[in-house]
Amino acid sequence: MRLLRLLWVFFRVGAMGELAYRANFFLQLLESAVDLGTALGGVVVVFSYTATLGGWRPEEVAALVGVFFLVGGAIRLVVQPSMEQLIESVRDGTLDFTLTKPEDSQILVSIQRVEIWKLTDFALGIAVIAVALLRLGTRLGIWQVAGFAAALLAGGIIVYSFWVILASLSFWFVRVENILVIFQSIYEAGRWPVDLYPPWLKIGLTFLVPVAFATTVPAQALTGRLTWQHLVGAFALAAFLFAAARLLWRVGTRRYSGASA
């Protein structure tokens, strides 16, 4: 399919450039390891005082941390750098180049930059999940794996759409340089099960800034907590946000082209 072919080309080209810089790989590995250590350290301190947290056992929260890193890694691999570049290109006018290309501009801006070394976050996340599940002694049935994959897919679409919406706002609010930081800082709340938070915060983290769908819901799938209603709800939200993002993108590019004047 066209999209996959384009994605592959951008990925290949983006990766090739970075592969020469082995030092960056080791630095990234160090940074990710320190990050992960901090996250797990926090879990250790918290669980030195209690056996369960909101019904979650320490290994389950550790698995959640793993999902946090896995999803975070995927976002920082391609979504974040591309959206950052988009905002820059709106400001310095290089978006013009993208708009004169005979391809869907939303696709082009979404895959334009790949930070290949963020794959370490992705890999570390998987490792943590694996170890946590092992220690839990869970046997992963086919349904659980499928549920996990589905939750990740829905979560991925939701998070991507949210980033596109945020980045598209820069067509109107050119001076909000750190608009993407909204997600990044609120994403930190995803390190802990969303069930812990007071109801108003939980709703905010589910529908306003969809962190819950990025981390807690897939972790729920892994730990046998996910109900099919939740999963269906996740896909419904994914479809809605994707459409909203698409709409906002088109309105935004039209505005950039002076259409509303």
Query: What are the residues binding another protein (CB under 8 A)?
Result: 5-6, 9-10, 13-14, 16-18, 27, 30-31, 34-35, 37-38, 41-42, 45-46, 48-54, 92-94, 96-97, 99-103, 108, 173, 175-179, 181-182, 185-186, 188-189, 191-192, 196-198, 201, 254, 257-259, 261
**Among residues 156 and 220, whose Cβ is nearest to another protein?**
220
Q: How would you class 167 by CB atoms within 10 Å of its CB: exposed for 0-12, middle for 13-18, buried for 19 or more?
A: buried
Least separation in angstroms between residue 91's CB and another protein is 12
| Residue 8 vs 228, nearer CB to another protein | 8
CB of 23 to another protein, least distance (A): 9
Note whether 209 and 183 are within 8 A (CB): yes
Assign 3-class secondary structure to 52-96. Answer: CECCECHHHHHHHHHHHHHHHHHHHHHHHHHHHHHHHHHHHCCHH
CB of 13 to another protein, least distance (A): 5
CB 185 to another protein: min, Å? 4
For residue 124, give every residue at least 6 positions away whose Cβ sits within 8 Å of its Cβ, in sequence order, or none.
Answer: 32, 33, 36, 66, 69, 73
Give the nearest distance from C-beta 160 to another protein in angstroms: 20
Count of other CB atoms within 10 angstroms of residue 113: 18
With CA atoms as reference, report the closest residue to 64 among 157, 195, 182.
195
Nearest residue (CB) to another protein, 185 versus 227: 185
Nearer to another protein, 126 or 196 (CB): 196
Cβ closest to another protein, residue 42 vs residue 233: 42
Q: Which residues of 15-38 are buried (b: 16+ CB within 10 A; e: fewer)?
A: eeeeeeeeeeeeebeeebeeebee
Instruction: Determine the distance from the C-alpha atom of residue 229 to the mean position of all C-alpha atoms in its chain, rounded to a whole number.
Output: 22
- CB distance 108 to 7 below 8 Å: no
- Residue 148 vs 256, nearer CB to another protein: 256
Q: To the nearest whole angstrom, how small is the minimum distance from the Cβ of residue 108 to another protein? A: 7
> Based on CB atoms, which residue is closest to another protein, 46 or 145?
46
Q: What is the closest distance, in whole angstroms, from the C-beta atom of residue 114 to another protein in the complex?
A: 10
Residue with tokens 């790989």: 25
